[in-house]
Structure 1
Amino acid sequence: MAVKNLVLLGRFGAPHGVRGEIRLQSFTGDPLAIASYGPLTDKSGKTSVKLLAVRPQGKDMLVARVEGVSDRGGAERLTGAELYIARDKLPPPEDEDEFYLADLVGLRAETREGARIGTVVAVRNFGAGDILEISPAQGGETLMFPFTRSVAPVVSVSEGVVIIEPPDETEVEEE
């Protein structure tokens, strides 16, 4: 079972060379800072990973040395693994309008008029941008809303609410 309140900081890619180095995609503001957070875990919180060193490789990738990994086979076993840290180990957001995506889970979702839509249960990203997944107040299947300024114009973590302005629905005629 996954540990709650974890924030995804990075994801391992393919091995780099034969000495145990591995490519790493960092999701931190400063990509190299991922190595400064101390031990990271998998989503279950059971497996711990310590990054010994990271260096840039190209525009969007790092190469990492991982404690206990000294050959290509060890690096291959890490391929695709995601690296998390407990939310409480991260610094607080600097501005009132800043937040971590993990902070959105559990917020009430409602309209500007105060009508309850439901509760944010996840923030997803399938490649085209972040999506708020909301469990409806009346039950049923979850609702998905693009997490954009036009659809979610107000986010107040301190008040526990995100205001949703659902986009107009469009009908597509079948041929």
Structure 2
Amino acid sequence: MANCKTSTATGPYAFIAAQPICILPNHKYRATMSTTQGEVVIELLPDSAPVTVNNFIVLALNGYYNGSQFWKSEDWVVQAGDPNGNGTGGPGYNLPEEPSSFLNWELGAVGMARVPGGPINGSQFFIEKAAWPGTGPTATYNRFGTVVSGMDKLQVVTTTDKINSISISVT
């Protein structure tokens, strides 16, 4: 994954654009997110959202998420990945929609955030702590992962908690 490192950052938390695909086909990827509450392991889904998974891996490997806070924590969801810490920031670009074959947004689902009616943010992501309220999302969200361990850590995350780092493993 050395080719996922980039020097196209234009400044702290700012990139020229989403990076070219650097992940390998037919491989499995996991993200281990170290938080102030403990570790959370996410199985990434490159077959469902290759551009989104690639983008998340590039940002993680380049330290983009290190030190960022969970700026949103509600009964059903936590959200992170905003360098501004308030839901208004991103890396300087948006992502294309990658409609998911997953019909159920449920406990442990990981997706990229978007402003309703707006584009998909290039860095902000959310993790469901419970089922999506109501009938579910009314817009396309790129689902790119599933939490496989550490949900107990996410259940107690508040807006004062942070991501220490995210490491990526491949098999």
> TM > 0.5 between the two?
no
- TM score, norm. by length of structure 2: 0.21
Larger-gyration structure (1/2): 1
TM-score, normalised to structure 1, is 0.20
